[in-house]
C-alpha cells in the first residue's frame, strides 16, 4: 500500500470519527472501527480456527492483514486506485477468548427470506468455529432489549430453522431507545451484538455503537444488511433478493395464464419496491412474459400519446393479452394528485404508501369503459406477503452463510461498528455511514434498464430532459476533499 497513514475525522456530524487510510496512486481505505481504537492495551489470543480440524486442510485460511477490496471494479488505465474496504474473513489473532464471549442476535424491520438462515449460521459459526457457548436471541426487535425475554440459542435449537420463513426471534419496527438498549447490553454482560435489518436498522446499530464507544465498553457491534428491495448501497445485493425474484415469478406466471385465457386479458402484478424497483425489474427480465414494468425510479404518465393507456391498447390489439408489473412505490405522485390523503409514516419512519396496484387497475378499467370500444378482463395479483414469508432458496442460503460467518470473524477479530457484505464478489467490512448515506436505486439510464425496455418493448415514458437529469445524478461522486483534508484529519496509528 506504500506509505499509508491512518486518520480520524473529529467532525461529529454525519461522518462520526472517520477512519481513513490514504495510500499511493489515489488509494483510499475507508476502514471500520476497532476495539483498540478506544480501549488501549487489549490482549490478543491465537485464533481457535488454527486448531479446528475442519480448517486444517485449508491453505492460507487467515486473511492477510493488508487485504482490501476495491469499490469500483471498472477503471481506466489512468484512473486513481479509488476507495477500498477492509476484506472480511478470519484473522490470526482474536480479541475475545471463547469463554468470555456472550453474544446476542436481534432481527428488526420487515420480514425477508433468509433471516432464519443468518441466525442459524451466526450461532453455528460462533459455536463450532470459535467455541462460543453463550448466545442469546433478543425477542421482538430493538424494543426486545428492554421489554422482552431473551431466547437461549445453540446449534440444536436452530438446527432446522433455515427451512422456515420469517424469524424465530420475532421482529418489530421502531422501539429504538439507545440508552435503554446499551444499558441492557451492559447489564447482561453482552460483548458481541449482531444486528440484522435494513437501512433504518443499520442507522440504529450505528447509534448503538457510538454509545458503546462513548462508554468505553468492550462490545463489538456487527450489522448484517437485510432488505428484500435490494436498496442498500455499496454491497452487490442484499440477502433474500434472489428468493423474492424467484417467488415473484409464480405471481407473474399466474397473471400471464389468466391474461392468455380470456379475450383482452390484462394481468396486473404488484411487487415490492418502496423506493427501488429491483425486484420488479429482475422479475420482469427473468419472466419474459411481462409487457410493461413500472418502477419508482422511472416516471410514467397515463393519458395521451406515448402514455400507458395508449401502450396497453396497442398490446391488446397485437397480442390479445397483456401482463403489467408494477412496484409498490411507482406512480405515487399520480396517486397523490387523484387521492387526497394525509402523509403518514410507520414506526420505522417509512412513508406509508397508497396501494398503487389497486389504483392503477381501477384506472385501466375506467379508461377502457369510457372509450366503450374495447371490453377488457383485468385480474390483479398482490403476492407481497407471500414473497416476504417464504424460506430462502439455495442461492440465498449459501449467501446468508457467508454473511453470517464474515460477521462472526469480524467481531472476534475486534472490529466493530461495521456492516458486512459483498463488494465486487468479495465480502468486506463496511463502515455504517456508507450504508446509511443513501439508497441503492435502479439507474434508468443504465444498461440493465435498457435491457428491460428491449425485452418488454415498452416505451421509456422519458423525455430528453429526464434523461439528461438522470445522467447528471449518476455521475461518479468525488470524495469530499474537505472531509479528507489535512486540517480535518488527526494522525492515529492504524490498528490491524
User: What domains appear along the chain, each with residue ranges and CATH number?
Assistant: 20-238+392-436 (3.40.50.450), 241-390+444-467 (3.40.50.460)
Among 245-259, 294-308, 466-480, which stretch is predicted with the lowest mean pLDDT? 466-480
C-alpha cell read off for 296: 419508482
109 marked as part of a ligand binding site? no
Q: From the CA atom positions of the chain, what is the Rg in Å?
A: 25
CA 419, CA 64: separation in Å to the nearest integer?
20
Asked if residue 284 belongs to a known ligand binding site, the reply is no
The predicted structure's pLDDT at residue 494: 39
Is 198 annotated as belonging to a binding site?
A: yes
pLDDT digits (tens, 9 = 90+) for 268-280: 999 999 999 999 9
496 is in an annotated binding site: no
CA distance 492 to 353: 46
User: Taking all residues of the chain, what is their mean pLDDT, rounded to a whole number?
Assistant: 87
Q: Is 274 annotated as a binding residue?
A: yes
pLDDT given for residue 18 in this prediction: 84
| Residues 299-332: tens digit of each pLDDT | 999 988 889 999 999 999 999 999 999 999 999 8
Cell of 78: 489512468
- Within 13 A of 463's CA, how many CA atoms are on the CB side? 5
Determine if residue 117 is labeled as part of a ligand binding site. no
Q: pLDDT band at residue 354, thresholds of 50, 70 and 90?
A: confident
According to the annotation, is 229 in a ligand binding site? yes
pLDDT interval class at 484 (50, 70, 90): very low
Average pLDDT over residues 222-229: 94
- pTM of the shown model: 0.87
155: CB partners within 8 A, 6+ apart: 123, 124, 127, 128
Q: Given this model, what pLDDT does residue 347 score?
A: 52
Task: Over range 270-294, report the average pLDDT.
Answer: 96
The larger pLDDT score, comparing residue 212 to residue 437, is at: 212
| Structure confidence by residue, pLDDT tens digits, 3-59 | 444 443 433 434 456 899 999 889 999 999 999 999 999 999 999 998 888 777 777
Query: How many Cα atoms occupy the beta-carbon half-sphere of 311 within 13 Å?
Result: 20
Residue of 229, 289, 291, 396 marked catalytic: 229
Mean pLDDT of 246-261: 97
Report d(CA 412, CA 427) in Å as an integer.
Answer: 16
Report whether 385 belongs to an annotated binding site: yes
Q: What is the pLDDT of residues 106-133, one digit of tens each?
A: 999 999 999 999 999 999 999 999 999 9
Distance CA 478, CA 476 (A): 6
Strands, DSSP E only, in 108-201?
134-138, 150-153, 192-197
Instruction: Please indicate if the annotation marks 388 as binding a ligand.
Output: yes
Q: Please say if 229 is a catalytic residue.
A: yes
Amino acid at each position: 500500500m506504500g506509505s499509508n497513514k491512518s486518520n480520524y475525522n473529529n467532525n461529529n456530524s454525519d461522518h462520526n470519527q472517520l477512519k481513513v487510510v490514504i495510500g499511493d496512486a489515489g488509494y483510499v481505505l475507508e476502514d471500520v472501527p476497532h476495539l483498540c481504537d478506544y480501549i488501549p492495551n487489549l490482549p490478543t489470543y491465537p485464533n481457535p480456527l488454527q486448531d479446528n480440524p475442519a480448517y486444517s486442510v485449508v491453505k492460507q485460511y487467515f486473511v492477510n492483514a493488508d487485504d482490501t477490496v476495491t469499490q469500483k471494479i471498472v477503471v481506466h488505465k489512468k484512473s486513481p486506485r479509488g476507495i477500498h474496504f477492509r476484506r472480511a474473513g478470519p484473522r490470526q489473532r482474536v480479541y475475545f477468548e471463547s469463554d468470555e464471549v456472550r453474544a446476542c442476535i436481534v432481527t428488526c424491520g420487515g420480514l425477508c427470506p433468509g433471516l432464519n438462515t443468518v441466525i442459524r449460521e451466526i450461532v453455528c459459526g460462533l459455536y463450532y468455529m470459535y467455541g462460543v457457548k453463550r448466545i442469546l436471541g433478543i425477542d421482538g426487535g430493538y424494543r426486545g432489549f428492554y421489554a422482552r425475554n431473551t431466547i437461549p440459542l445453540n446449534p440444536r435449537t436452530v438446527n432446522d430453522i433455515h427451512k422456515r420463513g420469517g424469524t424465530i426471534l420475532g421482529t418489530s419496527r421502531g422501539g429504538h431507545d439507545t440508552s435503554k438498549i446499551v444499558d441492557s447490553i451492559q447489564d447482561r454482560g453482552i460483548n458481541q451484538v449482531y444486528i440484522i435489518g435494513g437501512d433504518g436498522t443499520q442507522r440504529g446499530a450505528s447509534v448503538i455503537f457510538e454509545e458503546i464507544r462513548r462508554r468505553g465498553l468492550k462490545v463489538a457491534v456487527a450489522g448484517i444488511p437485510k432488505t428484500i428491495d435490494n436498496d442498500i448501497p455499496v454491497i452487490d445485493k442484499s440477502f433474500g433478493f434472489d428468493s423474492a425474484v424467484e417467488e415473484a415469478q409464480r405471481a407473474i406466471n399466474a397473471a400471464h395464464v389468466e391474461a392468455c385465457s380470456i379475450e383482452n386479458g390484462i394481468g396486473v402484478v404488484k411487487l415490492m419496491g418502496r423506493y427501488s424497483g429491483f425486484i420488479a425489474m429482475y422479475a420482469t427480465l427473468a419472466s419474459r412474459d411481462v409487457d410493461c414494468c413500472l418502477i419508482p425510479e422511472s416516471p410514467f404518465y397515463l393519458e395521451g400519446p406515448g402514455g400507458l393507456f395508449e401502450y396497453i391498447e396497442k398490446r391488446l390489439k397485437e397480442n390479445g393479452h397483456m401482463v403489467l408489473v408494477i412496484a409498490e412505490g411507482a406512480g405515487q405522485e399520480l396517486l397523490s394528485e387523484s387521492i387526497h390523503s394525509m402523509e403518514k409514516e410507520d414506526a420505522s419512519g417509512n412513508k406509508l404508501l397508497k396501494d398503487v396496484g389497486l389504483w392503477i387497475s381501477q384506472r385501466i378499467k375506467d379508461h377502457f369503459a369510457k372509450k366503450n370500444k374495447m371490453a377488457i378482463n383485468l385480474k390483479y395479483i398482490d403476492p407481497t406477503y407471500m414473497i416476504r414469508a417464504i424460506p430462502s432458496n439455495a442461492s440465498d442460503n449459501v449467501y446468508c452463510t457467508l454473511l453470517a460467518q464474515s460477521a462472526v470473524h469480524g467481531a472476534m477479530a475486534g472490529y466493530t461498528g461495521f456492516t458486512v457484505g459483498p463488494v465486487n464478489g468479495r465480502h468486506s467490512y463496511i463502515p455504517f455511514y456508507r450504508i446509511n448515506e443513501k439508497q441503492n436505486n435502479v439507474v434508468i439510464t443504465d444498461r440493465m434498464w435498457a435491457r428491460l425496455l428491449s425485452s418488454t418493448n415498452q416505451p421509456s415514458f422519458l423525455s430528453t430532459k429526464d434523461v439528461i437529469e438522470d445522467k447528471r445524478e449518476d455521475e461518479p461522486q468525488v470524495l469530499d476533499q474537505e472531509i479528507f483534508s489535512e486540517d480535518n484529519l488527526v494522525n492515529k496509528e492504524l490498528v490491524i
